[in-house]
Structures are given as structure tokens and as C-alpha cells.
Structure 1
Amino acid sequence: MFRRAVLSAAILCGVASAPAFAQCDTSFTIANRSNAVVNELYFNPTRLTNWGPDRLGQNVLAPGNSVDFRPSPGGNYDFKVVFANGRELERRGVDLCAVSTVTVSGNGIAVQ
């Protein structure tokens, strides 16, 4: 009886100390629905203070094209695109657990 009580308490403590967030599917698609080429794409967890590397690398994202990503961990992310003409768009605080598509248009960055 005592062992069962100790085991139950240990299990409950383990559950209570588990992270408050659940794992989620962080995969998403970036779709370029603008009329311009995206030369650079950046995204990072919101808690970070720099953009990090260009996620397209040597590639570009032409109008009408899309590319898939699966970052880790989940949570809120900030996005930035730089068009071929140098124009920049940003979208901050996107919950990757709730998003499957990030759409770039001439008016901004939308998520769904």
C-alpha cells in the first residue's frame, strides 16, 4: 500500500513538472502570392533578438511558388521577407502550433 502511494505521488509529480506547452506540428508552407520575387526569408522564435540566417539560402521564392519548413520548437515566431527590390515585410508573434500556411502578398504577410 505504501509503495503504491509513493509511486502514485512520483507519477503525479512527474506530470506536474512536465512543460506547460504541448508538442505540436510546426510544419508550415510559405507561399509567395505577390507579384515580386522574395530574395530573403527569415523566421525565428519571437524570444530571439536577431533574424538569423536567410532561410532560402542561395534560392529565391518566385511569385506563385511555395516552400515547406518544419522548425523546432513550436511557439511564437517572427517572420520577415525581403523582396528583390529591397522592400521588407514583417509579421510578429505567429503561433506555429496554429498555422499551416504563411502567405506573402504585396500587402503583407498573412497566416492561416
Structure 2
Amino acid sequence: MSIKLRIAAALLAASVAAPAMAADELTFTIVNKTSEVITHFYTSPTNVDDWEEDVLGDDVIGPGESMQITIADGRRTCKYDLKFDFEGSDKLETTTDTQDLCEMSTYTLTE
């Protein structure tokens, strides 16, 4: 039986938030508060039908760890689909979500 993930995205305070206009480079932190290792993290703009390359490459994000992520794909868009794969997939399901990365500073995954 899989555990449903609750996902919380902490937004930047209005005084330091990125402007509503899209930036060429988007930076945020992923926090893994699950008991499993995040093995893959995929993103793609919401208007793209396929997942792009694994952002983590050879890296992983272990339980209790965090990692700063920079999306520098040259696109001037803020809304991205996100997909996370976990080691031990029998316990945690693949998780997908959509976020405004121009407004987000931290993305936390929990069980």
C-alpha cells in the first residue's frame, strides 16, 4: 500500500519575490522530509507534453536532505510541471505537481 504524499510549497515573501514576469533562471530548494530517497526529479513547462531530462542527474536527495535546484533552460516561463521518483517505489508513489517557480523558494515533500 502506498503512502499519499502531502506536498507543501513555501512561497517567498512579497518583498523578495521574483517579479511576475518570468526569469531565464529559476532557483529553489527541494526538501525531502520522506523516509525514501528521491532518485529522479523531472520538470517541464506546463505547455510541454513530455518530461525533460532528470534534473538530479547522478545525484539523489536522501531522507532529511535538501538540495538547491536551478532551472536554466532559457525559457521565459514560470509554471512548470514537477515529477519526483523515489527509491523503494513500493512504499512511495511517483509524485507529480504543478508550481509557479518564479514565486517558489522551497518545495517540501512529506509522507
CA RMSD for the aligned pairs?
A: 1.7
Unaligned runs of 5+ in 2: 1-19
Written as runs of structure 1 = structure 2, the 5 A alignment for 1:56-71 is 56-71=56-71
Q: Over residues 61-93 of structure 1, what are the superposed CA-to-partner deviations in whole Å (9 max), with x where a residue is unaligned?
A: 10111111222434101111111022201112x
Give me the whole-angstrom Cα distance separating, in 1, the residues matched to 2:42 and 2:57.
Answer: 10
Aligned to 1:22: 21
Letter in 2 for 1:76: K
Q: TM-score, normalised by structure 2?
A: 0.68
Indicate the structure (1 or 2) with the bigger Cα radius of gyration.
Answer: 1
Aligned to 1:78: 81
Which structure has the higher relative contact order (CA within 8 Å, separation 6+)?
A: 2
| Higher share of residues assigned strand | 2
Letter in 2 for 1:48: V
Offset at residue 54 of structure 1 (A): 1.2
Aligned to 1:17: none
Q: Over residues 6-41 of structure 1, what are the superposed CA-to-partner deviations in whole Å (9 max), with x where a residue is unaligned?
A: xxxxxxxxxxxxxxx624472101111111111111
> How many residues align structurally?
85
Contact 2:22 2:78 in 1 (8 A): no
| Higher share of residues assigned helix | 1
